[in-house]
Protein backbone atom coordinates (compact mmCIF):
# COMPACT_ATOMS: atom_id res chain seq x y z
CA UNK A 1 0.00 0.00 0.00
CA UNK A 2 1.31 3.41 -0.97
CA UNK A 3 1.17 6.04 1.78
CA UNK A 4 0.96 9.51 0.27
CA UNK A 5 2.94 12.06 2.25
CA UNK A 6 2.73 15.83 1.97
CA UNK A 7 5.60 17.73 3.57
CA UNK A 8 4.44 21.29 4.22
CA UNK A 9 7.54 23.47 4.15
CA UNK A 10 5.91 26.65 5.39
CA UNK A 11 6.83 29.93 7.04
CA UNK A 12 5.07 30.52 10.38
CA UNK A 13 4.09 33.87 11.82
CA UNK A 14 6.27 34.21 14.87
CA UNK A 15 4.35 34.03 18.14
CA UNK A 16 0.89 33.71 16.53
CA UNK A 17 -0.47 30.21 17.12
CA UNK A 18 -3.96 31.04 15.81
CA UNK A 19 -2.59 32.43 12.55
CA UNK A 20 -0.38 29.39 12.05
CA UNK A 21 -3.28 27.02 12.63
CA UNK A 22 -5.19 28.91 9.94
CA UNK A 23 -2.17 28.60 7.65
CA UNK A 24 -2.22 24.83 8.10
CA UNK A 25 -5.91 24.81 7.21
CA UNK A 26 -5.29 26.92 4.12
CA UNK A 27 -2.49 24.62 2.96
CA UNK A 28 -4.62 21.52 3.51
CA UNK A 29 -7.45 22.98 1.45
CA UNK A 30 -4.99 23.70 -1.36
CA UNK A 31 -3.64 20.14 -1.46
CA UNK A 32 -6.75 18.12 -0.62
CA UNK A 33 -7.12 17.03 -4.24
CA UNK A 34 -3.80 15.19 -3.84
CA UNK A 35 -5.46 13.15 -1.06
CA UNK A 36 -2.49 12.92 1.34
CA UNK A 37 -2.54 10.28 4.04
CA UNK A 38 0.11 11.92 6.24
CA UNK A 39 0.99 15.62 6.45
CA UNK A 40 4.34 16.58 8.00
CA UNK A 41 5.10 20.08 9.30
CA UNK A 42 8.38 21.49 10.59
CA UNK A 43 9.80 21.97 14.07
CA UNK A 44 7.97 24.57 16.20
CA UNK A 45 5.71 25.51 13.29
CA UNK A 46 2.80 26.52 15.51
CA UNK A 47 4.72 29.45 16.95
CA UNK A 48 8.00 29.90 15.11
CA UNK A 49 11.31 28.62 16.44
CA UNK A 50 13.42 31.50 17.79
CA UNK A 51 11.21 32.60 20.70
CA UNK A 52 13.60 32.40 23.66
CA UNK A 53 11.65 33.45 26.78
CA UNK A 54 8.50 33.86 24.71
CA UNK A 55 8.06 30.09 24.67
CA UNK A 56 5.86 30.17 27.77
CA UNK A 57 3.39 32.54 26.07
CA UNK A 58 2.70 30.23 23.13
CA UNK A 59 3.22 26.75 24.60
CA UNK A 60 0.24 24.39 24.58
CA UNK A 61 -0.64 21.40 26.69
CA UNK A 62 -1.19 18.13 24.90
CA UNK A 63 -4.94 18.40 25.40
CA UNK A 64 -4.99 21.98 24.07
CA UNK A 65 -3.09 20.91 20.97
CA UNK A 66 -5.39 17.94 20.38
CA UNK A 67 -8.48 20.12 20.74
CA UNK A 68 -7.13 22.80 18.39
CA UNK A 69 -6.19 20.28 15.70
CA UNK A 70 -9.51 18.46 16.05
CA UNK A 71 -11.37 21.75 15.54
CA UNK A 72 -9.22 22.51 12.50
CA UNK A 73 -9.97 19.09 11.05
CA UNK A 74 -13.71 19.53 11.60
CA UNK A 75 -13.60 22.86 9.76
CA UNK A 76 -12.11 21.17 6.69
CA UNK A 77 -14.87 18.57 6.21
CA UNK A 78 -12.07 16.21 5.22
CA UNK A 79 -12.99 12.93 3.60
CA UNK A 80 -11.68 10.26 5.99
CA UNK A 81 -8.88 10.32 8.58
CA UNK A 82 -5.77 12.46 8.17
CA UNK A 83 -2.51 11.88 10.02
CA UNK A 84 -0.44 14.95 10.96
CA UNK A 85 3.08 15.37 12.34
CA UNK A 86 3.43 18.83 13.87
CA UNK A 87 6.14 20.65 15.83
CA UNK A 88 5.12 22.89 18.74
CA UNK A 89 6.24 24.14 22.14
CA UNK A 90 4.63 22.07 24.87
CA UNK A 91 3.64 23.06 28.40
CA UNK A 92 3.43 20.37 31.08
CA UNK A 93 2.74 22.06 34.40
CA UNK A 94 5.57 24.55 34.81
CA UNK A 95 7.93 22.71 32.45
CA UNK A 96 8.33 23.47 28.74
CA UNK A 97 9.53 21.29 25.88
CA UNK A 98 10.28 21.50 22.18
CA UNK A 99 7.90 18.75 21.08
CA UNK A 100 6.35 17.15 18.03
CA UNK A 101 2.98 15.42 17.93
CA UNK A 102 1.59 12.65 15.77
CA UNK A 103 -2.19 12.98 15.44
CA UNK A 104 -4.71 10.80 13.65
CA UNK A 105 -7.39 13.38 12.93
CA UNK A 106 -10.83 11.96 12.36
CA UNK A 107 -9.73 8.82 14.19
CA UNK A 108 -7.87 8.10 17.41
CA UNK A 109 -6.61 11.64 17.90
CA UNK A 110 -3.23 12.25 19.56
CA UNK A 111 -1.09 9.11 19.25
CA UNK A 112 2.34 10.23 20.37
CA UNK A 113 4.40 13.16 21.63
CA UNK A 114 8.18 13.27 21.19
CA UNK A 115 10.08 15.75 23.33
CA UNK A 116 13.40 16.89 21.88
CA UNK A 117 16.30 15.29 23.72
CA UNK A 118 19.32 17.12 22.29
CA UNK A 119 18.89 20.85 22.84
CA UNK A 120 21.54 22.88 21.01
CA UNK A 121 23.13 25.69 22.99
CA UNK A 122 25.95 26.78 20.68
CA UNK A 123 26.35 29.11 17.73
CA UNK A 124 23.01 30.81 17.09
CA UNK A 125 21.14 28.34 19.31
CA UNK A 126 20.14 28.79 22.95
CA UNK A 127 17.43 26.17 23.49
CA UNK A 128 18.46 24.66 26.80
CA UNK A 129 18.28 28.05 28.49
CA UNK A 130 14.51 28.16 27.97
CA UNK A 131 13.20 24.60 27.71
CA UNK A 132 13.83 21.18 29.22
CA UNK A 133 15.08 17.99 27.64
CA UNK A 134 12.95 15.01 26.83
CA UNK A 135 14.43 11.66 27.73
CA UNK A 136 12.89 9.09 25.40
CA UNK A 137 13.27 7.83 21.85
CA UNK A 138 10.54 5.36 20.95
CA UNK A 139 8.66 3.99 17.99
CA UNK A 140 4.86 3.74 18.01
CA UNK A 141 2.11 2.25 15.90
CA UNK A 142 0.02 4.21 13.41
CA UNK A 143 -2.71 2.99 11.07
CA UNK A 144 -0.04 2.63 8.37
CA UNK A 145 2.84 1.09 10.28
CA UNK A 146 5.37 1.70 13.03
CA UNK A 147 7.11 5.08 13.06
CA UNK A 148 9.24 7.37 15.23
CA UNK A 149 9.81 11.11 15.55
CA UNK A 150 13.17 12.81 16.09
CA UNK A 151 13.42 16.60 16.25
CA UNK A 152 16.28 18.35 14.42
CA UNK A 153 19.51 17.76 16.41
CA UNK A 154 18.08 14.50 17.77
CA UNK A 155 18.64 13.13 14.26
CA UNK A 156 22.30 14.22 14.14
CA UNK A 157 23.24 11.64 16.78
CA UNK A 158 23.53 8.14 15.36
CA UNK A 159 22.24 6.45 18.50
CA UNK A 160 18.75 7.92 18.15
CA UNK A 161 18.12 6.52 14.68
CA UNK A 162 19.48 3.19 15.87
CA UNK A 163 17.09 3.10 18.83
CA UNK A 164 14.13 4.03 16.63
CA UNK A 165 15.00 1.34 14.09
CA UNK A 166 15.56 -1.35 16.74
CA UNK A 167 12.18 -0.38 18.21
CA UNK A 168 10.57 -1.26 14.89
CA UNK A 169 10.31 2.12 13.12
CA UNK A 170 9.75 1.90 9.38
CA UNK A 171 9.56 5.68 8.96
CA UNK A 172 11.41 8.36 10.95
CA UNK A 173 9.81 11.81 10.83
CA UNK A 174 12.22 14.70 11.41
CA UNK A 175 10.69 18.15 12.00
CA UNK A 176 13.55 20.65 11.80
CA UNK A 177 14.42 24.35 12.02
CA UNK A 178 17.86 24.82 10.48
CA UNK A 179 19.37 28.28 9.87
CA UNK A 180 21.35 28.49 6.64
CA UNK A 181 25.12 28.35 6.92
CA UNK A 182 27.99 27.68 4.54
CA UNK A 183 27.48 29.18 1.07
CA UNK A 184 30.47 27.92 -0.89
CA UNK A 185 28.52 25.39 -2.94
CA UNK A 186 25.34 25.23 -4.97
CA UNK A 187 23.33 24.76 -1.77
CA UNK A 188 23.96 25.87 1.81
CA UNK A 189 26.29 23.47 3.61
CA UNK A 190 23.67 22.48 6.18
CA UNK A 191 21.23 21.45 3.41
CA UNK A 192 23.91 19.21 1.92
CA UNK A 193 24.62 17.80 5.37
CA UNK A 194 20.94 17.12 6.05
CA UNK A 195 20.61 15.23 2.78
CA UNK A 196 23.64 13.08 3.52
CA UNK A 197 22.36 12.35 7.04
CA UNK A 198 18.95 11.22 5.83
CA UNK A 199 20.60 9.02 3.23
CA UNK A 200 23.02 7.47 5.73
CA UNK A 201 20.37 6.72 8.38
CA UNK A 202 17.86 5.41 5.85
CA UNK A 203 20.41 3.14 4.18
CA UNK A 204 21.91 1.81 7.43
CA UNK A 205 18.57 0.83 8.92
CA UNK A 206 16.53 0.16 5.78
CA UNK A 207 13.75 2.65 6.49
CA UNK A 208 12.23 5.89 5.21
CA UNK A 209 13.18 9.34 6.52
CA UNK A 210 10.87 12.32 6.08
CA UNK A 211 12.52 15.66 6.88
CA UNK A 212 10.27 18.73 7.15
CA UNK A 213 12.34 21.89 7.53
CA UNK A 214 11.13 25.33 8.57
CA UNK A 215 11.55 28.23 6.15
CA UNK A 216 11.54 31.99 6.58
CA UNK A 217 13.41 34.72 8.43
CA UNK A 218 13.42 34.71 12.24
CA UNK A 219 15.55 36.87 14.53
CA UNK A 220 17.75 37.80 11.58
CA UNK A 221 18.39 34.14 10.73
CA UNK A 222 17.32 32.55 7.46
CA UNK A 223 15.69 29.18 8.01
CA UNK A 224 16.69 27.18 5.01
CA UNK A 225 13.98 24.69 4.07
CA UNK A 226 15.28 21.95 1.78
CA UNK A 227 12.93 19.24 3.07
CA UNK A 228 13.49 15.72 1.75
CA UNK A 229 11.96 12.25 1.60
CA UNK A 230 14.57 9.49 1.55
CA UNK A 231 13.96 5.81 0.78
CA UNK A 232 15.29 2.67 2.49
CA UNK A 233 18.04 2.19 -0.11
CA UNK A 234 19.39 5.62 0.88
CA UNK A 235 18.04 7.30 -2.26
CA UNK A 236 16.42 10.73 -2.10
CA UNK A 237 12.89 10.34 -3.44
CA UNK A 238 12.05 14.02 -3.42
CA UNK A 239 13.49 17.34 -2.28
CA UNK A 240 11.94 20.76 -1.69
CA UNK A 241 13.69 23.99 -2.71
CA UNK A 242 15.60 26.16 -0.26
CA UNK A 243 14.48 29.54 1.07
CA UNK A 244 10.89 29.31 -0.13
CA UNK A 245 7.60 27.78 0.88
CA UNK A 246 6.79 24.52 -0.85
CA UNK A 247 4.74 21.35 -0.67
CA UNK A 248 6.73 18.16 -1.20
CA UNK A 249 4.60 15.17 -2.19
CA UNK A 250 5.87 11.62 -2.06
CA UNK A 251 4.49 8.07 -1.89
CA UNK A 252 6.02 5.69 0.64
CA UNK A 253 5.80 1.94 0.06
CA UNK A 254 6.55 0.01 3.25
CA UNK A 255 6.68 -3.20 1.21
CA UNK A 256 10.09 -2.05 -0.03
CA UNK A 257 11.60 -2.40 3.44
CA UNK A 258 11.75 -6.21 3.90
CA UNK A 259 13.66 -6.93 0.65
CA UNK A 260 16.04 -4.03 1.30
CA UNK A 261 16.77 -5.30 4.81
CA UNK A 262 17.19 -8.84 3.47
CA UNK A 263 19.82 -7.72 0.94
CA UNK A 264 21.57 -5.42 3.43
CA UNK A 265 20.96 -6.85 6.93
CA UNK A 266 22.78 -4.17 8.95
CA UNK A 267 19.85 -3.69 11.29
CA UNK A 268 19.66 -7.43 12.03
CA UNK A 269 23.41 -7.46 12.66
CA UNK A 270 23.02 -4.53 15.04
CA UNK A 271 20.25 -6.31 16.91
CA UNK A 272 22.43 -9.40 17.27
CA UNK A 273 25.67 -7.61 18.11
CA UNK A 274 24.57 -4.79 20.36
CA UNK A 275 24.11 -6.94 23.50
CA UNK A 276 27.77 -7.97 23.16
CA UNK A 277 28.81 -4.32 23.39
CA UNK A 278 26.57 -3.21 26.27
CA UNK A 279 29.27 -3.74 28.88
CA UNK A 280 31.65 -1.54 26.92
CA UNK A 281 28.97 1.12 26.53
CA UNK A 282 28.36 1.11 30.27
CA UNK A 283 32.13 1.23 30.88
CA UNK A 284 32.77 4.25 28.68
CA UNK A 285 29.74 6.06 30.09
CA UNK A 286 30.97 5.48 33.62
CA UNK A 287 34.50 6.66 32.93
CA UNK A 288 34.14 9.07 30.05
CA UNK A 289 36.60 11.96 30.24
CA UNK A 290 34.55 13.79 27.62
CA UNK A 291 31.43 13.68 29.80
CA UNK A 292 33.41 14.93 32.78
CA UNK A 293 34.44 18.03 30.85
CA UNK A 294 30.89 18.98 29.85
CA UNK A 295 29.60 21.71 32.20
CA UNK A 296 26.34 20.74 33.86
CA UNK A 297 23.58 23.36 33.88
CA UNK A 298 22.67 24.66 37.31
CA UNK A 299 19.09 25.80 37.52
CA UNK A 300 15.83 25.02 39.23
CA UNK A 301 13.89 23.24 36.51
CA UNK A 302 13.72 19.54 35.87
CA UNK A 303 15.79 18.16 33.03
CA UNK A 304 14.85 14.52 33.14
CA UNK A 305 11.12 14.48 32.58
CA UNK A 306 9.75 13.53 29.21
How confident is the model over 143-163, as pLDDT tens digits? 999 999 999 999 999 999 999
Q: Is residue 240 part of a domain?
A: yes
Gap between the terminal Cα atoms of the chain: 34
Q: Is residue 305 part of a domain?
A: no
Q: Is residue 304 part of a domain?
A: no
- The 3-state DSSP class for residue 243 equals coil
The structural domain count of the chain equals: 1
- The 3-state DSSP class for residue 293 equals helix
String of DSSP letters for 40-96: E--TTTTT-S--GGGHHHH-B-HHHHHHHHHHHHHHHT-SS-EEEEEEEEEEETTEE
Q: What does the pLDDT read at residue 306?
A: 34
Separation CA 174–CA 222 (nearest Å): 19
Q: Is residue 14 part of a domain?
A: yes
Q: Is residue 193 part of a domain?
A: yes
How confident is the model over 36-68, as pLDDT tens digits? 999 999 999 999 999 988 999 999 999 999 999
Residues (pLDDT < 50) of the chain are 297-306
Q: What does the pLDDT read at residue 111?
A: 98
To the question of pTM greater than 0.85 for the whole model, the response is yes
Residue 103, number of CB atoms within 10 A of its CB: 24
Q: Is residue 247 part of a domain?
A: yes
Q: Which residues of 123-160 are buried (b: 16+ CB within 10 A; e: fewer)?
A: eebebbebbbbbeebebbebebbbbbbbbbbbbbeeeb
Q: Is residue 161 part of a domain?
A: yes
**What's the domain range around 43?**
2-293
- CATH assignment at residue 229: 3.60.110.10
Q: Is residue 299 part of a domain?
A: no
Amino acid sequence: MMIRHAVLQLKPKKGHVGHNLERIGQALREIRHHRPDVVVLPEAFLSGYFLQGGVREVALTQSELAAAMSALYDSLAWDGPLDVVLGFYERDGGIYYNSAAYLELGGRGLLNIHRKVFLPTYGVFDEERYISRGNRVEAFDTRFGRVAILICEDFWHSITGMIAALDGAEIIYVPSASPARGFAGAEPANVIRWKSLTQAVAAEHGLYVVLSSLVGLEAGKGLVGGSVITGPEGNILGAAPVFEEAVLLGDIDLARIPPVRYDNPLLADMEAGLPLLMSDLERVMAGSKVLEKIPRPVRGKALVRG
